[in-house]
Amino acid sequence: MFYYGIDLGTTYSCIARADENGAVEVIKNIEGKNITPSVVEFISSTEIVVGETAKGDAILAPDNVSLYIKRSMGKKDEFLFHGEKYKPEQISAFILKKLVSDASSLTGEEITDVVISVPAYFGFDEKQATENAGRIAGLNVLAIVNEPTAAAIAYGAKSKAKEDKIVLVYDLGGGTFDITVAEIVGDRVTVISTEGNHTLGGKDWDAELISYFVSQFCEKTGVDEERVYDDTEVLNELVIKTEEAKKELSAKNSTAFSLSLGREQRAKLEVSVDKFDEITRHHLSSTIELTKVAIKQAATKTSSTGKSCDKFDEIILVGGSTRMRQVKEALKKEFGIEPKLFEPDEAVARGAALLAQYLVTNPPAQTAVGGIARKSERFEEVTSKSYGIETIDKQKSVLSHVILKNDKIPLSNTETYYTLESNQWAVELKIYESNIMEPITDLSFGKLIAENELKLPPDLPADSPLDVTFSLDRNGLLSITAVERSRGGSCNITVKTAGLQESEILRLRLATSAIKVTEEA
């Protein structure tokens, strides 16, 4: 029996399987490649192309191609192709269908149960959207796992460290950046802290390089920049060539290519690795600053043997964009440790497959308020967000956190609040998600994700206690219970995604199953 994990990436995706003994292999697609471009081309309303061909056609038919859909997950965006509207979850489902279909064809297995990875810094809506994409693709999503955690799981399984080891997992993909501090002992992984930016990735390095090439082209030809940016075909060609140039700079000191606009304007565009480093330095600096934040947060915790968690032993690089040599050089200069490139395109899928194997072969723990808590002998995760409630402090509305970022999950925390007035008939409960680790913060730093009203009994005096319990399960499912202590009145709040509702998921699943997903048009 095999257990499957999927790295649903911004630019490339990958599927792997683990057997009952924990041996892992990446499953190639039908083109013989370990990774598949996360690019979808809409040939018609009944035929979709996913992969290399779609990526190539981004130049020829850009209006029919979806790129970087992962950056829209959790948003209410819609995309129009051939008169039909598509949501981010459905477009992601096409990518998942391609991966699973190819793997089934090559292995002869029916694949239904999977673990899917997401950036550690994804919030509730983004994680739920990813799970919904899996359901739309006809899959049973066993769990959503953070990408650097999955990479740490794969690294732990391969290294099998006998002594406790603190590692820094630096994960720079095509569209997202995560940094995680984790303890690894053998194949046991405990996440200590995590930080990141799910809108920062290799794509942003590409954007800086594209801007540089456009300026160079216009300087050499006398063409206005607006003409280049308005020509969709030329711009898409430049996107592809820029990606190739960036890869070449990982091994060469300079690279060049030609670009044409119409029949007359043509120029040779060049860039050195020093210039590339210069124009993208601010992005790299941003990842270093976030890395320092994660290390500072880890410093407040200790390992299983009492070791300070900010004293890490290794730096592990995952994600395709860590091949840029500026990444390794900057990390070594900043922290004095030679980073290790660890299967940058495959580590996350491998770790997700190992987690799938563990979840299926280990029965769940007892049901907790807010969802099912899995046994955690081998893998312990933290929440990448803080969760709290709107309260009044010194006559000002503030956000009072009940769960703080980097708390271990699953967990259940209770805080006591008090009524403001005598004979108060109800309390309005507003639930927020934030990136702040302080117990009290300004409401503007939070995102409202749920609300409800707790009706109070008559003749209740002011300062009557209300116990509010937040429960967060391993998959990020948050539930809240509020109890008026003196007479036992209560209300529950289940946080629902701002995205698709159940009926829409079922409709899109049916519609998606009727669409042919292929590699070639």
pLDDT in tens, 293-332: 999 999 988 777 677 788 899 999 999 999 999 999 999 9
Could you report the per-residue pLDDT of 76-120, keeping only the tens digit for each? 899 999 999 999 999 999 999 999 999 999 999 999 999 999 998
Whether residues 155 and 108 share a domain: the answer is yes
Which of 220, 253, 276 is the last residue in one of the domains? 276
Tell me the torsion sign for CA atoms 442, 444, 447, 448: positive
Q: What was the pLDDT predicted at 363? A: 63
Q: What was the pLDDT predicted at 375? A: 45
Whether residues 83 and 153 share a domain: the answer is yes
Could you report the per-residue pLDDT of 13-65, keeping only the tens digit for each? 999 999 999 999 999 999 999 999 999 999 998 999 999 989 888 777 778 99
Is 220 part of a structural domain of the chain?
Answer: yes
Higher pLDDT, 433 or 366: 433
Pairing of strands 411-418, 396-403: unpaired
CATH code of the domain containing 225: 3.90.640.10
pLDDT bin (cut points 50, 70, 90) of residue 497 is low
Whether residues 392 and 347 share a domain: the answer is no
Residue 92 CA: distances (Å) to CA of 8, 135, 203, 508: 8, 11, 18, 12
State yes or no: pLDDT of 475 exceeds 90: no
Pairing of strands 340-341, 314-318: parallel
Is 154 part of a structural domain of the chain?
Answer: yes
Is 317 part of a structural domain of the chain?
Answer: no
Q: Helix, strand or coil for residue 110?
A: coil
Whether residues 20 and 148 share a domain: the answer is yes
Average confidence (pLDDT) over 351-366: 83
Is 81 part of a structural domain of the chain?
Answer: yes
Q: Is 49 in contact with 40 (CB distance < 8 Å)?
A: yes
Is 299 part of a structural domain of the chain?
Answer: no
Instruction: Give the integer Cα–Cα distance in Å for 388 and 441.
Output: 10
State yes or no: pLDDT of 195 exceeds 90: yes
Among 184-188, 265-269, 449-453, 495-499, the least confident range: 495-499
pLDDT bin (cut points 50, 70, 90) of residue 403 is very high
Whether residues 13 and 53 share a domain: the answer is yes
Instruction: Give the integer Cα–Cα distance in Å for 327 and 212.
Output: 20
Is 294 part of a structural domain of the chain?
Answer: no
Q: What was the pLDDT predicted at 30? A: 92
Whether residues 452 and 514 share a domain: the answer is no
State yes or no: pLDDT of 234 exceeds 80: yes
Q: What was the pLDDT predicted at 264? A: 75
Average confidence (pLDDT) over 451-456: 90
Instruction: Give the integer Cα–Cα distance in Å for 433 and 403.
Output: 10
Contacts of 199 (CB under 8 A, 6+ apart): 71, 175, 176
Whether residues 138 and 220 share a domain: the answer is no
pLDDT bin (cut points 50, 70, 90) of residue 373 is very low
Whether residues 142 and 221 share a domain: the answer is no
Whether residues 151 and 42 share a domain: the answer is yes
Q: What was the pLDDT predicted at 441? A: 95
Could you report the per-residue pLDDT of 119-131, keeping only the tens digit for each? 988 888 899 899 9
State yes or no: pLDDT of 167 exceeds 90: yes
Average confidence (pLDDT) over 269-278: 96
CA 192 distance to own-chain centroid: 18
Residue 148 CA: distances (Å) to CA of 7, 209, 422, 425: 11, 27, 50, 47
Q: What was the pLDDT predicted at 232? A: 80
**Contacts by residues 24-31 (CB-CB < 8 Å, ≥ 24 positions apart):** 24/154, 24/157, 24/350, 24/353, 24/354, 26/346, 26/349, 26/350, 27/102, 27/103, 27/106, 27/107, 28/102, 28/106, 29/98, 29/99, 29/102, 29/103, 29/519, 30/102, 30/105, 30/106, 30/519, 31/519
In 3D space, the residue among 381, 391, 387 whose CA is nearest the CA of residue 436 turns out to be 387
Q: What was the pLDDT predicted at 366? A: 46
pTM: 0.89
Q: What was the pLDDT predicted at 380? A: 87
Is 288 part of a structural domain of the chain?
Answer: no
Higher pLDDT, 375 or 109: 109
State yes or no: pLDDT of 343 exceeds 50: yes
Instruction: Give the integer Cα–Cα distance in Å for 370 and 383.
Output: 14
CATH code of the domain containing 78: 3.30.420.40
Angle between helices 232-248 and 202-221 (to 10 degrees): 120
Q: What was the pLDDT predicted at 368? A: 41
Q: What was the pLDDT predicted at 364? A: 56
Whether residues 22 and 155 share a domain: the answer is yes
What is the distance in angstroms between the CA of the first residue and the CA of the last residue of the chain?
A: 34
In 3D space, the residue among 319, 377, 291 whose CA is nearest the CA of residue 119 turns out to be 319
Q: What percent of the chain has pLDDT over 90?
A: 67
DSSP element (H, E) containing 447: strand 446-455
**Cβ neighbours, 10 Å, residue 230:** 10
Place of tokens 């990390």: 331
Quote the mean pLDDT of the chain.
Answer: 90
DSSP element (H, E) containing 482: strand 478-484
Is 217 part of a structural domain of the chain?
Answer: yes
Which of 276, 295, 317 is the last residue in one of the domains? 276
In 3D space, the residue among 130, 129, 169 whose CA is nearest the CA of residue 150 turns out to be 169
CATH code of the domain containing 434: 2.60.34.10
Question: How would you class 489 by CB atoms within 10 Å of its CB: exposed for 0-12, middle for 13-18, buried for 19 or more?
Answer: middle
State yes or no: pLDDT of 350 exceeds 50: yes
Which of 243, 276, 309 is the last residue in one of the domains? 276
Domain count, the chain: 3
Q: Where in the sequence is the domain holding 55, given as residue range(s)? A: 3-161+343-361+503-518
Q: Residue 358, by phi and psi: left (phi above 0), alpha (psi -120 to 50) or beta?
A: alpha
Q: Is 145 in contact with 476 (CB distance < 8 Å)?
A: no
Q: What was the pLDDT predicted at 419? A: 92
Whether residues 142 and 215 share a domain: the answer is no
Structure tokens at 209: 């390089």
Structure tokens at 313: 């032993």
pLDDT bin (cut points 50, 70, 90) of residue 516 is confident
CA 336 distance to own-chain centroid: 28
State yes or no: pLDDT of 519 exceeds 70: no
Whether residues 150 and 247 share a domain: the answer is no
